[in-house]
Structure 1
Amino acid sequence: AISSPRGRKCGAVRMAQAEADVPATSLFGADRRLCSADVLSPLEVRARIEVAVLNFLATLSSPSSPAIPVLPLISRKSTNCSLRSGLLSDVSSVYLSYAFCKRSLMRENDAKAFVRVWKVMEMCYKILGEGKLVTQRELFYKLLSDSPKYFSCQRHVNQTIQDVVSLLRCTRQSLGIMASSRGALIGRLVLHEPEEEHIDCSILGPSGHAITGDLNQLSRLNLSSDARYLILVEKDAIFQRLAEDRLYNQLPCILITAKGYPDIATRFILHRLSQTFPNMPIFALVDWLSPFKCFFCERKHFLMLICILFWLFVF
């Protein structure tokens, strides 16, 4: 994903031309208007990392391009998002359009961010080669031990993961990075995983079934339910109280919580439930003006991917 130096001019013109040429010469993604992250195997991701490194080195060694090239990254700002409806189904998808930002070693503010991208790719390359998965927190501790000068806080890792996803055009799960999950669910739902015993969520204790952070595992689940409602519960204490009272036996429903703030895995299983049971209304039991409510209100595209959400406020 390093732009080709061919045809560049000197000085500032060279940098502008490099950025302008990115959509036409990028190795990963052909659509000039819409970009999405590919779900790739470990071998494919490692191959993309190798290509990115080789392209970078080739650009450095080119006599026509003495300057260190920039890393062209798809902008992840909300202004660069677009919603695309399916032609043969009601499913809609959120895409990033072709607006670019960049990381440059020649800029003082970007220099460390530039190096962090290569450090994270190096670590992911190693993790994928070992056939492992790590959470973002585990990745932070690994990078803190390996490169403390560049990774002093979790925020550095989180932002750099987004940069790597943008550069390689693949999902963070494909990079070997697993979502940390706090979520749980309980109620009239049976989870079936191929070659595994099924899990009846209606006979579990008040803590419910812990939602795994492995999105690949969640995507393999077969879901069956006779529930009439899906209830999102913001507070874990309220979730456990409702679970202790076996609310789902009196009111046929599925209870799900992210224990305060919706993580990626909980949002993923919520999306799967809404797609599997499109006629099941979703209710959200939250505090007034809670972070949970604000999270969904600020992300209108996410709401468009699920069915209508009904708010149940607790004052």
Structure 2
Amino acid sequence: MEDLNRSSMQFFSDQQLCYADILSPLEVRARIEVSVLSFLKILNSPDPAISDIPLINRRSSNSRVSQGLLTDVSWIFLSHSYCTRSLMKANAAKAFVRVWKMMEMCFQILVQEKRVTQRELFYKLLCDSPEYFTSQLQVNRTIQDVVALLRCSRYSLGIMASSRGLVAGRLLLQEPNGEAVDCSQCGSSGYAISGDLNLLEKLTMKTDARYIIVVEKHAIFHRLVEDRVFNQIPSILITAKGYPDIATRFLLHRMSRTFPDLPIFALVDWNPAGLAILCTFKFGSIGMGLEAYRYACNVRWLGVRGDDLQLIPEQSLVPLKPRDLQVAKSLMSSEILQENYREELELMVQSGQRAEIEALYYHGYDYLGKYIATKIVQANYI
């Protein structure tokens, strides 16, 4: 214990490990207790001082891209650059206190053996500490601060992921001691992905699919499932209904580990937001830097792509919005963007237009299945 207490807030910071561990509740509680004891030790010293809290810096300037030696999967990670939360600076004092409040709340959750969502946590903190927590954004950022301080995953803290995701197609899922679910028989709504990452990790999965297809939009997912495209193209379909949530990314990552021979393709809009969604599935996100590698998959861009514009009537193209240009600028400044993706993004910006998946309905409502099959055959260029 003395070794762990040797410096205030510096526990684990000397390890060259910039990722969040998956820990048992007992281990997380021990890390929280060590942090409290270290803080109290400083306050009770002959020359008491309130130490800053050193956190791994989650800014894009501290992000790097790792390429595995034996795999095609790349992911975002954070290097050893620190920022601080300080009680002595007026603009950081409340953020400093929020970290302690959040650790206290997580400790209680773990003692009670509960799991809570970020939304549930917000309302609890709003009632208990309204002077410090007034928005969901403050809660979300503080959770990341605690992850960056304790170096453990948010799930290890007792925080459950909210999920919007759905999965359908040639996939058999079985929970421990539960009945098997055939995702091809769940109707056009698909099977709702649980936000319980522990449950997702324990799922037994079987498939005879040849492909996994990530679909950006719920409406497109619904159309493909309704048309039972997974029978024409033996596949598993998965969607997060837009920007990917953690649970959907986690399940996709699990499928990539369980079925390593299945290529994963993404069907997204031809616009900066569609590319950003693809990159999040493929590389992870900077905001999840300490945990990003747990959700990265080798996702290939199936479509819509620039060479598909010939399939789309000009009147179906939509002008780029200011928000699109902001997303494009952010992507351009990122080192994660591979060259062929950068070329596609430049073409979007130069043309000033965007193409949505629905524009392919020009060829009929049953055309998407044919389009996907054709693109998969051509996939060797992706």
With structure 2 as the length reference, what TM-score do the two structures score?
0.71
Q: Which residue of 2 aligns with 1:120?
A: 102
Letter in 1 for 2:302: W
Q: Which residue of 2 aligns with 1:282?
A: 264
1:183-210 CA distances to partner (integer Å, 9 max, x unpaired)? 0000001113332221111111111110
- 1:183–1:259 contact (8 Å) kept in structure 2: yes
Q: Which residue of 1 aligns with 2:49?
A: 67
- 1:262–1:292 contact (8 Å) kept in structure 2: no
State whether structure 2 residue 158 is matched by structure 1 residue 155: no
Q: Which residue of 1 aligns with 2:298?
A: 307
State whether structure 2 residue 26 is matched by structure 1 residue 35: no
Matches within 5 A, 1:43-62: 43-62=26-45
Provide structure 1 residue ranges, at least 5 long, that are not aligned to the other structure: 6-21
**Counterpart secondary structure, 1:72:** strand
1:24-64 CA distances to partner (integer Å, 9 max, x unpaired)? xx3226533x3221111111111111111111011011113
Q: Which residue of 1 aligns with 2:218?
A: 236
1:106-156 CA distances to partner (integer Å, 9 max, x unpaired)? 001101100100111111111111110001111001101111111111110
Which structure carries more helix by proportion?
2
Whole-angstrom CA distance in 1 between matches of 2:266 and 2:69: 30
With over 3 angstroms needed to count, the CA separation of the structure-2 counterparts of 1:137 and 1:3, relative to structure 1, is: farther
State whether structure 2 residue 210 is matched by structure 1 residue 219: no
Letter in 2 for 1:190: L
**Counterpart secondary structure, 1:230:** strand
With over 3 angstroms needed to count, the CA separation of the structure-2 counterparts of 1:312 and 1:86, relative to structure 1, is: closer
- 1:29–1:35 contact (8 Å) kept in structure 2: no
- 2:75–2:282 contact (8 Å) kept in structure 1: no
Provide structure 2 residue ranges, at least 5 long, that are not aligned to the other structure: 286-292, 305-356, 360-382
Q: Which residue of 2 aligns with 1:81?
A: 63
Whole-angstrom CA distance in 1 between matches of 2:274 and 2:245: 10
- 1:184–1:208 contact (8 Å) kept in structure 2: yes
With structure 1 as the length reference, what TM-score do the two structures score?
0.85
1:54-94 CA distances to partner (integer Å, 9 max, x unpaired)? 11011011113x33111111112233334556677777665
Identity across the alignment (%): 60
- 2:268–2:278 contact (8 Å) kept in structure 1: no
- 2:85–2:96 contact (8 Å) kept in structure 1: yes
**Counterpart secondary structure, 1:274:** helix
**Counterpart secondary structure, 2:140:** helix
Q: Which residue of 2 aligns with 1:4?
A: 7
Whole-angstrom CA distance in 2 between matches of 1:292 and 1:266: 16
Between Structure 1 and Structure 2, how many residues are aligned? 294
Shift of 1:225: 0.9
With over 3 angstroms needed to count, the CA separation of the structure-2 counterparts of 1:86 and 1:308, relative to structure 1, is: closer
Letter in 2 for 1:43: L
Shift of 1:299: 7.5
- 2:190–2:225 contact (8 Å) kept in structure 1: yes
Whole-angstrom CA distance in 1 between matches of 2:68 and 2:267: 31
Whole-angstrom CA distance in 2 between matches of 1:312 and 1:164: 38
With over 3 angstroms needed to count, the CA separation of the structure-2 counterparts of 1:49 and 1:180, relative to structure 1, is: same
Shift of 1:283: 2.1
- 1:188–1:201 contact (8 Å) kept in structure 2: yes
1:221-265 CA distances to partner (integer Å, 9 max, x unpaired)? 222111112111111122112212211122211111111220001
- 1:281–1:308 contact (8 Å) kept in structure 2: yes
Shift of 1:300: 6.2
What is the Cα-based RMSD across aligned positions, in Å?
A: 2.4
**Counterpart secondary structure, 1:202:** helix
- 1:296–1:302 contact (8 Å) kept in structure 2: no
Whole-angstrom CA distance in 1 between matches of 2:169 and 2:70: 33
Whole-angstrom CA distance in 1 between matches of 2:259 and 2:274: 23
State whether structure 2 residue 244 is matched by structure 1 residue 262: yes
Whole-angstrom CA distance in 2 between matches of 1:286 and 1:308: 12
Letter in 2 for 1:60: L
